[in-house]
Every structure is written in structure tokens, then in C-alpha cells.
């Protein structure tokens, strides 16, 4: 029994704790999406490390300044061939980025490149006015409803405002980059046939399209 134990221990030391030949195989999980001001964490793994210490390095293939800036990404190495790369992108980083990670363990080495796109992170436009769900129009006192429309846009400085499938005599006139006026002047025949006019106001900013329901209800004589 004593001989077997020593034999097993000797075999273990002789073979080391991992492969001694070949290159390091690196793997990394590319992030789904990267947005300015939101930290991205990329876990890295080096397979095939030996007894020699493992050292990690990284460089940006698209933006060399990334490695020298004050608030630069960090790469922390851990045991088991693991490492974490952490990066909080700035506004100036928006666009495609490519980062190469490399690792060395004695004579072994390997590298891997990851590409991702940093998005500015703007949200879809938000309707700020009208804030309510609708209004009434008393045709005895005025022929038209005129409603100010204001949107807020974080992703683009201009939005395109429109009405989706408007009824006759309803239109949205854009007055500036982020605002307009919804005007509805129902005809006599319209007023006689229907009193509830659901409208759909649409704001488009690049890839974002948002809509707001708004109803104009004609008052009935009492």
C-alpha cells in the first residue's frame, strides 16, 4: 500500500498538472451589446496552462488610446486560467471596437480577438405633450382642436412626427425638430356621423418608432 501511494504521487509530479506541449487555447464570451456608461465584463479562459505562471495582455486593434487613457479597461487574472476584462465605454468609444487578448505560460502562448459595437445608448423618443389621453371639442365654440405635441429624443436631435391613418381633416404639422401641432377640424358630416376620433400620433427617430394614442371626442349639444 505504501509503494502504491508513493508511486501515484510520483506519477502526478512527473506529469505536472496540465499539458506541457502545444499552444494555449483561449476562449472568451463576446458581449451581446455594449453601451456607453455601462460596464461590460468579458470572462476569459486559457486552456492548456502548465505549471508556469500565466500572464495576460490585451490591446485594442481599433483604438490604441484605450490602453493608455486614465480610466482604461482592466484585466484581472485569476487562477485556473481565468481572467476578467472590464471596460466602461465613454461617449468617444461609440462604434466598432476590436480587442485582442493574449496569454503566455512559459513557452506556451495564444491569442484571441473579439469584436463588438459600442452603442450610444439613446432611448426611443418619449411623448411629453400632450400628457393626457384625449380632449373634447365643442364645435359650438370652436371649429378645430389644436393640440401641441412635444417629444423628447435622446438618440437623435430631430424626430419625424406624423399621424397614422388619420381621419379626414386631421393633420399633424411639425413646427420644429421635436414638436408640432395636431389639428383636427371635423366637417359637419363627420360630426354628424361619429363623435369619437381615436388618433395615433407617431414619432420616428432613426430606428425608433413610438406611438401615442389620443382621442378627440366631439361634445354633444345638451
Residue ranges that bind another protein, judged by CB under 8 A? 1-2, 5-6, 8-9, 12-13, 16-17, 36-41, 43, 69-72, 74, 76, 78-82, 84, 88-92, 120-123, 128-138, 147-148, 152-157, 177-178, 195-196, 198, 215, 217, 219-220
Question: Taking the complex as a whole, how short is the minimal distance between the CB of residue 112 and another protein, in angstroms?
Answer: 19
Q: Which is nearer to another protein, 16 or 143 (CB)?
A: 16
Q: Which is nearer to another protein, 124 or 202 (CB)?
A: 124
Q: Which is nearer to another protein, 94 or 169 (CB)?
A: 94
Question: Taking the complex as a whole, how short is the minimal distance between the CB of residue 210 and another protein, in angstroms?
Answer: 15
Sequence-ordered strand ranges (E) for 36-152: 40-47, 54-60, 74-77, 82-87, 95-105, 108-119, 126-129, 134-137, 145-152
Q: Is there a contact between 130 and 213 (Cβ–Cβ < 8 Å)? A: no
Question: Taking the complex as a whole, how short is the minimal distance between the CB of residue 80 and another protein, in angstroms?
Answer: 4
Question: Taking the complex as a whole, how short is the minimal distance between the CB of residue 48 and another protein, in angstroms?
Answer: 13
| 19 grid coordinates | 499539458
State the Cα–Cα distance between residues 149 and 5, nearest whole angstrom.
83
Q: Which is nearer to another protein, 38 or 187 (CB)?
A: 38
Question: Residue 146 forms beta bridges with which residues?
Answer: 183
| Residues of the chain by 3-state class (helix, strand, coil), percent to 5 | 15, 50, 40
State the Cα–Cα distance between residues 127 and 131, nearest whole angstrom.
7
| 128 grid coordinates | 411629453
Q: Which is nearer to another protein, 79 or 189 (CB)?
A: 79
Question: Taking the complex as a whole, how short is the minimal distance between the CB of residue 163 and another protein, in angstroms?
Answer: 15
Question: Taking the complex as a whole, how short is the minimal distance between the CB of residue 111 and another protein, in angstroms?
Answer: 22
**How would DSSP label each residue in 118-151?**
EE--PPPPEEEES-SSEEEE-TTT-S-EEEEEEE
Torsion angles phi and psi, residue 2, rounded to 5? -60, -45
Q: Which is nearer to another protein, 155 or 160 (CB)?
A: 155
Amino acid at each position: 500500500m505504501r509503494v502504491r501511494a508513493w508511486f501515484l504521487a510520483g506519477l502526478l509530479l512527473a506529469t505536472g498538472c496540465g499539458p506541457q506541449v502545444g499552444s494555449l487555447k483561449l476562449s472568451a464570451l463576446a458581449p451581446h451589446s455594449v453601451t456607453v456608461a455601462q460596464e461590460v465584463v468579458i470572462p476569459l479562459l486559457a486552456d492548456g496552462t502548465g505549471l508556469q505562471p500565466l500572464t495576460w495582455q490585451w490591446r485594442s486593434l481599433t483604438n490604441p488610446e484605450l490602453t493608455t487613457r486614465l480610466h482604461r479597461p482592466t484585466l484581472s487574472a485569476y487562477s485556473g486560467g481565468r481572467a476578467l476584462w472590464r471596460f466602461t465605454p465613454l461617449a468617444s468609444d461609440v462604434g466598432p471596437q476590436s480587442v485582442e487578448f493574449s496569454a503566455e505560460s512559459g513557452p506556451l502562448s495564444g491569442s484571441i480577438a473579439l469584436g463588438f459595437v459600442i452603442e450610444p445608448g439613446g432611448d426611443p423618443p418619449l411623448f411629453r405633450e400632450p400628457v393626457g389621453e384625449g380632449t373634447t371639442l365643442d364645435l359650438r365654440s370652436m371649429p378645430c382642436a389644436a393640440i401641441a405635441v412635444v417629444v423628447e429624443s435622446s438618440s437623435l436631435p430631430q424626430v419625424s412626427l406624423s399621424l397614422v391613418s388619420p381621419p379626414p381633416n386631421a393633420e399633424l404639422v411639425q413646427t420644429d425638430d421635436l414638436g408640432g401641432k395636431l389639428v383636427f377640424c371635423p366637417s359637419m358630416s363627420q360630426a354628424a356621423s361619429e363623435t369619437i376620433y381615436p388618433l395615433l400620433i407617431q414619432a420616428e427617430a432613426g430606428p425608433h418608432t413610438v406611438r401615442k394614442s389620443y382621442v378627440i371626442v366631439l361634445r354633444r349639444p345638451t
